[in-house]
Amino acid sequence: MSARRTIVTEPLTREAFAPFGDVLDTSGAADFEINGGDAKRFHDRGHIDCLAPGRAGLSTVFAVGQSLPYEMSMLERHPLGSQAFIPMQAEPWLVTVAPDEGGKPGMPRAFIAAPGQGVNYHRGTWHGVLTPLGTPARFAVVDWIGEGKNLEEYWLEAPKLVVSQPK
């Protein structure tokens, strides 16, 4: 991993996040209308990928708020399944991920999810812990549930510091 200590946040866009997972939002063109035109559906935007004998399940999480600059000391990944986090309030939150480099996380990237943006990490993607910004926050989670070891943690030798993009 790069020795660079500071990570500057980026906006969360579908394109930038594509190597790590799916962005769940209602930006851009909808796929079709439902409910007699009263609603627009953005269809099949996140791929649930949970290996047998486990299954995908619905959970919720309540997490304390963090702030920037944010010190990141650990990344984790789940080899058995994708993992979606859907914010249940319209507040920004921090999404940290890293490419894999030979079984360890490479240089992390940090994305600011705007209000109304969730993510679905691809199976096996290195990511930081859940980090609402500001106040405590609720999330719905769609991830692998079953018997087995679905968690790998990697502690950084030197923590990274996530800082805001200059305005």
Contact positions vs a copy of itself (CB under 8 A): 22, 24-26, 30, 34-36, 38-48, 55-64, 84, 86-90, 115-116, 118, 120, 129-130, 138, 140-142, 145
Q: Nearest approach, Cβ of 118 to a copy of itself (angstroms)?
A: 6
**162 close to 72: Cβ distance less than 8 angstroms:** yes
Instruction: Give the residue with the Cβ less far from a copy of itself, 7 or 130.
Output: 130
- C-alpha dihedral sign at 94, 90, 30, 33: positive
Residue nearer to a copy of itself on the CB measure, 89 or 165: 89
Please report how close the Cβ of residue 2 comes to a copy of itself at its closest, in angstroms.
Answer: 25
The CB-of-74 to a copy of itself minimum distance in angstroms stands at: 9
Task: Give CA–CA dist 144/53, Å, rounded.
Answer: 10
Residue in 1, 14, 143, 162 with CA at minimum distance from that of residue 93: 162
Residue 4 or 77: the one with the smaller Cβ distance to a copy of itself is 77
Terminal Cα distance for the chain, rounded: 28
Which CB atom, from 5 or from 47, has the smaller least distance to a copy of itself?
A: 47
Cβ pair 61, 143 in contact under 8 A: no
